[in-house]
Amino acid sequence: MTLSSDGAVQSLKDLRNALRDATSELDIDSFTFLLSSTLQNLSLHPTSVPPQNVSNTLKAIERYLGSVQHSLLTVALPTYLSALDVGARSLLDRFFVPPKIANPSSLALGRAIALVSYSSLLALVAPVISSNKERTTALPAQSREYVLHLLDVLGAEYGIDQLYWAIWGDTTTSDHNVSAESSKSGNIKMHKWEETVRTAISIPAKVANAWGKWKSEGWAGDIPQGLVTRYFDRFVVKLESLMYQESHSSRGESAIIRIVFERLIAIGLLNTPPTKDHSPDASLLRPLLPPLLSHLHPDPDDPLPPYSSGYLPGIFLPLSGAALAAFVYSLLSYLAFHLDKNTALEQPNEQVKRAASIFSSILGQPDAEGEAWDAVLRCVSRASVIRNDAREVKAGIIVSWVASGSLTCIMNFTDSILDLWTDPRHIKYALYDHQYQLTYTLIRAISLVDPFEPFLVRLSHRPKFLSAMQSYLAHPDPAIRRLGMLVAEIVSERTVVDDPADAQQSQIDEVEELKAGLDVEGEIAATRKPIKGGKRLRFGGGMWDGPGEGKDEARRLRSVVGVRDNDASLADVKGTSAWILGWKTETEESPETSAPEHTSIEAIPIVPRSARATTKKPLEKQAARPKIVMLDDEQVADPLQGYDIPSPASSRSSSPTPSFLEEVTADPSLAIDAAGKKKIKRPVYVSQLMALLREREKPDHLEMALKWGESLIRSKRSFGGELEENAVNLATLTVALNNPFNLDHFDESRQGILNALVVCSPRKVAPCLCELYFIGSYSLHQRSVILTAIAMGARELAGMTVPTAPKTKKIDFPSKTLPPALHKMYISAGDLPAGQLEAAIDGVRGLLLSKGAKRGEETVPELAKEKRLRVGSRVASKVSEVGSLSDRQMTAAPNGNKSQIPVVPFRDIAAEYFILPLINRFWQHFQDASLRQSRALSSGTRYRGAGTGLLLSPMALEKFLMTLSLLLHAARHSSVYLAVLAPEALELAAAMGAQHLSQPDLLDENVPEGKEASIVGAALEMALVVLDASRDLDGGRTLAMDKHALLMAVGEWASGVFKLEEHGNGVKAAGQGGLREGRVRAAAAGVVVKVSDIAEKWGRLSIM
């Protein structure tokens, strides 16, 4: 087979065609000859002479080499790879990763081939969708290990710096002195550069995805370490080398380098925290800082110059606001990580000064109008999730950076920190760690201003600052309370001259100042002097002495007053060891030079200021004393006299008082753990509320949680994500509560907490409660609480009235009731007070039936005439029994519904989060129960089990249907009501009502048929709610046209129930005096009327 010699283009074409068309006819020698001859024409053979002009060859490589590489990997290598010797293997490697040669022309060819290889190799690794819609890769299994090896070598030999020169050119190109963006092909190059950066950065992720797919197919290979753990370390080191070269070049294009950082930040390389040991997680700053810091401050003996000023800020400052803030936050964490955390705070820190200088070199000098300023303030206001000791060092770096600017920057920074510190929401809701960090930053910022400066005096008189003091003093946490008191003391010390001798002169100056204020009011505010002879604010030594409750931290904060790290003198250290801040390259890292271990604030000894100057002497061994000392005659004769000064408080608990002993005698339960009890604090966070609810064996904890739970949840609904994160767990805890201690208002408080959770977090709590209703070992009462919470929460979200919680009537005369055994025997459901669910469904039922009656009075002549003959109207009774329905309606009527604005309208979430989860989960449970029962009946035995049929019992099924009725009534304005919700609900109502009308209870032989009246009535009421809403919304058109069979079935079922009730053969409700039968008859009549109206209007259905 002959090979054309028309240059590089024809050579690549011939190789491509030979691989595609005649692979089966080539032997291993012919294949090797093809490779060798093509490399000779490309001037890439080991024996080739470096070419003089490579422009045509570069164009041929860019156009044809990709297809050649694809044919080699997919067609040739599965056949020839195992038979290639070392020499032929090296020739094959040159088509993907040629060796770097010092000659400029050969180097340009190698970079061009590497640029094509990145795209070709990654395209083969990436999954493709096959004809049967399965994700697979186009790379044969025989070539996978070789491709991974090529990608590893490619990243090591031709990193991002070589790709940069391949696109933007080097000293050999003619447009080196021309800006890339202003050149004729600048836009094309920029697009190509962006695609190349995206490809190079996506290699680890795509390789890992492909490897996982190959593993599932049975491939036994592994990924090279250079593509997993070390890829980005290598990548970032080469990127820094490129930055250093470009900072001294004539063009210095920072926008091109910025694109790389934007992509690295976008994939989350800034989220990796610094660690003492080398972490396998990819990071941006861990490999970047060592070479960057060494180039910022090189060794004086090193001939290489440092970075040019302004180059690094030109790269990072134009980043987006969020990306720049993330970079600044991560940079502060890495700069402070290896610094000594145990350095005395009362002295300027040399390491902090060096870190601030580096921070300034990377982000520029502080400017209140600059991008770095906003990013730093965002980092200060950001609450750290993990507590660490580097927070003080980071705050010191920020303050030292600000101090390097002008006095205006210092004052602006202090104002900004003070605004954050005095924010009422921050004071009330921020955690202590964030409060401590912000207070530390504020004290360091105040220390930058000289005492008694007019700026500090004006700051101390601001109304916002004074009101913040009141908020701190009223805070329930003593540690946070002390932070506010400490700042107040420090501001007072630096603004008030405490000199009693000048008290009289201070009064004279104050009078003169007031007189001058009558003439020029604004001049005094600008030149306000420190108050002389005033009294500084002091809370006393007892407020700060001792351990616990934030006292240790307060003493630590006081020690930094007046300290300025910029005043530290830098030691003259040869080399760059002092400027790299403990960061070392991989070859320099060792266990002995690793970062020191972290120590918490509590572990750092707190020494009083008065004792810091004294040196601690070693304790001398005291001479042993005799255990028994004999007194002489004078000591024996000397009488013992007590001191008038009271003895110090004992660590033991105090003895009980006589009054307490009398109370214990009357009630011995008061003596149980009386000494060890602590006052339970009111919960202010959702996590505290959950901790109280978990203490089920402690009645005081449970009572405190129930008392304040609902109000706390409603106050947290629009503040942060605390409630959203804990809503599901809190709902599960609340549902599982029991009342073994007979706490007052237990049921009302628990129901209020669940209702508030549904209202404040409906998208998470409502589906959770729907699932809990059908799973778990819950009692019937607990499941009733779940249904009530779903229904009442939905009504509140829909803006409807929520009935008040029922209250059991107090029995003043127990003799009016039967003995407990007989009372339990004869009590029925009708004797119990109606709950929120029953009260709400009564209102809905009355509303729907009254609408039908009113329409009948308007249309039927006899009824209209009777209405006109009535003299006056029936006056509602002003007296009702306490605890009855009339009493609740009279009480709730004047006030109305005082619910807050819902977090989301109920019509938008009714179907997805409330109604459909209940209906779908019920059908699943019903199907499982029916299947178990049918299998048991077919085997001749009844299915028995703990809790079997609980959810399908008459009482549970009635409440379930009532809940759905309330939800459907509240969701009538949903966009999917007519098309989805109405048919689903009618189908469920007809199925349950018809089944319990025609069949006795199959799950329990002892349940009388009279119990079925409650289920039939609830099903009819749900159908009435759906039909009424459908008639109001579109006149019943959707149901009549799309679901006419279902509508006919509902009408026939309701008509049958009504006929049975009329003839006295209907279902009975045992023990309820015919009340339920009346409701069944009324609901059946209402359904028949609604169906008849719809059928008459649209002419599709007819009843009778």
Instruction: Show the tokens assigned to 555.
Output: 């003493």
Number of structural domains the chain divides into: 3
- Regarding whether 73 and 38 lie in a shared domain, the answer is yes
21 and 73 co-located in one domain = yes
* Co-location of 1014 and 1065 in the same domain: yes
The Cα-based distances of 540 to 399, 606, 1055 in angstroms read 30, 19, 85
| pLDDT of 4 over the 60 cut | no
Q: Which of 603-607, 890-894, 909-913, 1098-1102 has the highest mean pLDDT?
A: 909-913
Same domain, 293 and 215: no
What is the DSSP secondary structure assignment for residue 798, as one 8-state letter? T
Q: 987, exposed or middle or buried, with CB in 10 Å at 0-12, 13-18, 19+?
A: middle
Give yes or no: residues 293 and 183 share one domain. Answer: no
Assigned domain for 657 exists: no
Looking at the structure, tell me whether residues 952 and 1046 fall in a common domain. Answer: yes
- Between residues 1056 and 1078, the one the model is more confident about: 1056
Give the model's pLDDT for residue 646. Answer: 44
CA distance 329 to 458: 32
Confirm if 165 and 238 have CB atoms less than 8 A apart: no
pLDDT tens digits for range 150-198 = 999 998 999 999 999 998 875 434 444 444 445 556 788 889 999 999 9
Tokens standing for 295? 């180039």
Q: Distance (Å, rounded) from C-alpha 677 to C-alpha 657?
A: 17
- Listed in sequence order, the DSSP H helices in 502-644 are 503-519, 521-526, 551-558, 633-637
Give how far Cα 728 sits from Cα of 758, 762, 904, 1086, 1091, Å.
10, 10, 18, 40, 41
For residue 374, what are the CA distances in angstroms to 309, 329, 459, 786? 22, 12, 22, 48
Q: How many CA atoms lie within 13 A of 404 on its CB side?
A: 23
Q: Please give the single-letter amino acid code of residue 881.
A: E
Domain shared by 1004 and 1049, yes or no: yes
pLDDT band with cut points at 50, 70 and 90 for residue 624: very low
Do 203 and 320 sit in the same domain of this protein? no
1087: left (phi over 0), alpha (psi -120 to 50) or beta: alpha
Q: How far apart are the first and last CA of the chain?
A: 94
741 against 999, higher pLDDT: 741
Is the same domain home to 174 and 276?
A: no
127 within a domain of the structure (yes/no): yes
Q: Which conformational region is residue 540 in: left (phi greater than 0), alpha (psi within -120 to 50 degrees), or beta?
A: left
Q: Which of residues 649 and 390 earns the better pLDDT score?
A: 390
Q: Are residues 298 and 421 in the same domain?
A: yes
- Assess whether pLDDT exceeds 50 at residue 811: no
Asked whether residue 717 is domain-assigned, the answer is no
pLDDT tier at 870 (50, 70, 90 boundaries)?
Answer: low
| Residue 948 confidence (pLDDT) | 47
Are the CB atoms for 967 and 791 separated by under 8 Å? Answer: yes
Do 442 and 449 form a contact (C-beta atoms < 8 A)?
A: no
Whole-number Cα distances in Å, 793 to 785, 836, 899 = 12, 11, 10
What angle in degrees, to the nearest 10, is found between the helix axes of 203-216 and 104-125? 40
User: What is the spatial distance between Cα 865 and Cα 857, in angstroms, rounded to a whole number?
Assistant: 9
Position 494 in a domain: no
Tell me, yes or no, whether 607 lies in a domain: yes
| Segments forming the whole domain that contains residue 347 | 254-455+572-611
**Tens digit of each residue's pLDDT (9 = 90 or more) over 366-424:** 998 888 999 999 988 876 544 456 778 888 999 999 999 889 999 999 999 999 999 99
pLDDT mean across residues, the chain: 77
Q: How wide is the angle at C-alpha 193 spanned by C-alphas 189 and 199, nearest 5°?
A: 145
Angle (deg, nearest 10), helices 141-157 and 203-216: 160
Scan for tokens 């005799």, then name that residue. 626
135 and 280 housed in the same domain: no
User: Does residue 714 fall inside a structural domain?
Assistant: no
Length of the chain: 1104
The verdict on 215 and 354 lying in the same domain is no
For 671-692, the pLDDT digits (tens) are 544 444 567 888 988 999 999 9
Is 268 contained in some domain? yes
The better pLDDT of the pair 1048, 857 is held by: 1048
Collapse the DSSP code of 115 into the 3-class scheme (helix H, G, I; strand E, B; otherwise coil) and give the result: helix
691: helix, strand or coil: helix
Query: What pLDDT sits at residue 1051?
Result: 92
- Among 562, 586, 611, the domain boundary falls at 611
What is the predicted pLDDT for the residue at 279? 75
pTM assigned to the model: 0.53
- Residue 376: inside a domain, yes or no? yes
Q: Residue 605 — very low, low, confident or very high, per pLDDT cuts 50/70/90?
A: very low
Which of the four pLDDT bands, split at 50, 70 and 90, describes residue 986? Answer: very high
CB 379 within 8 A of CB 324: no
Q: Is the Cα dihedral 168, 172, 178, 182 positive or negative?
A: negative
Describe the crossing of helices 836-859 and 861-869 by its angle, rounded to 10 degrees.
Answer: 100
Which of 228, 245, 275 is where one domain is finished? Answer: 228
Which range of 502-506, 534-538, 704-708 scores highest in mean pLDDT? It is 704-708
What is the Cα–Cα distance from 122 to 151, expressed in whole angstroms? Answer: 8
